[in-house]
Amino acid sequence: MIKKIIRFKDVSSTQDTAKRFLKSNEEVAITSLRQTHGKGRQGKSWFSPFGGLYLSLLLFPRARVTSIPLLASLTVVKVLENYDFSKLTIRWPNDVLLNHRKICGIICEQCEKAVICGIGLNVNIDKFTTKLDSATSLKIESGHDFDINEVLNQVIGTFNPLYNELQNEGLRIKEVLHYIGGIGESVELITAQTRIKGTVYDIDDDWALLLRDDSGMIRKYYCGEVKQMRW
């Protein structure tokens, strides 16, 4: 349960800053107004100018570590619904899309007993580089600015009870499945080793992607990036 938020103006990456607090054994949130070297998944960088929410949750989960990224996506979806946004989907494994564009990215790193869950939410960003043309922000979608501090408090306030529930009872996967887009769609799954084309058959209870290849064989994948989805 996150009870403390530690704020910075400018850091390299809140993921790295969070590592400095590992020894405290306390669950805390680290946030910064911008990042000079924001980290994305699979070695990519994360565009981190002023105007975004950059948050790393330092957690010491007792159980169900693998569901934490999913929990973070569900948290963001619930917060954005509170702000009256609809057309929200979770793209496996844990991107949040608004109107089919990426509004939030999540990365989880395991460090000893801890999990550092990084959430990057595009709040008041006016425009993205051409390389990031599939990204969007709350401001672009709504036409107005948001109070980032209020968004932060909502994220923590929504995450905490879900995290308690996850630790005590497990996540009700059915609730999450409601937000999943892309079942039945043709996709390409890109992993560190290979690229696999297929159709999304389902997401199962341990949050693995079930992909059906051209021969009809269904295989299970725990990580990778899904491309070419028309969500």
The residues binding ligand BTN (CB under 6 A) are 13-15, 35, 38-41, 44, 46, 54-56, 95, 105-107, 118-120
**DSSP string covering 162-224:** HHHHHHHT---HHHHHTTB--TT-EEEEE-SS-EEEEEEEEE-TT-PEEEE-TTS-EEEESS-
CA distance 209 to 224: 9
Give least dist CB 14 to ligand BTN, A: 4
* Amino acid code (one letter) for 178: H
Give least dist CB 151 to ligand BTN, A: 13
Nearest to ligand BTN of 188, 225 (CB atom): 225
Which spans in the chain are helix H?
14-19, 68-82, 138-142, 148-168, 173-177
Query: CA distances (Å), 9 to each of 159, 173, 176, in order?
Result: 23, 36, 33
Nearest to ligand BTN of 13, 89 (CB atom): 13
Nearest to ligand BTN of 96, 171 (CB atom): 96
Nearest to ligand BTN of 66, 199 (CB atom): 66
Give least dist CB 222 to ligand BTN, A: 17
Nearest to ligand BTN of 40, 49 (CB atom): 40
Phi, psi of 45 (to 5 degrees): -95, 165
In the complex, residue closest to ligand BTN by CB: 105
Nearest to ligand BTN of 95, 166 (CB atom): 95
Core vs surface per residue 209-218: b (16+ CB within 10 A) or e: bbbeeeeeee
CA distance 162 to 75: 8
Q: Which are the contacts of 227, defined by CB distance < 8 A and separation ≥ 6?
A: 187, 188, 189, 190
Give least dist CB 105 to ligand BTN, A: 2
Give least dist CB 178 to ligand BTN, A: 22
Nearest to ligand BTN of 99, 199 (CB atom): 99
Give least dist CB 35 to ligand BTN, A: 5
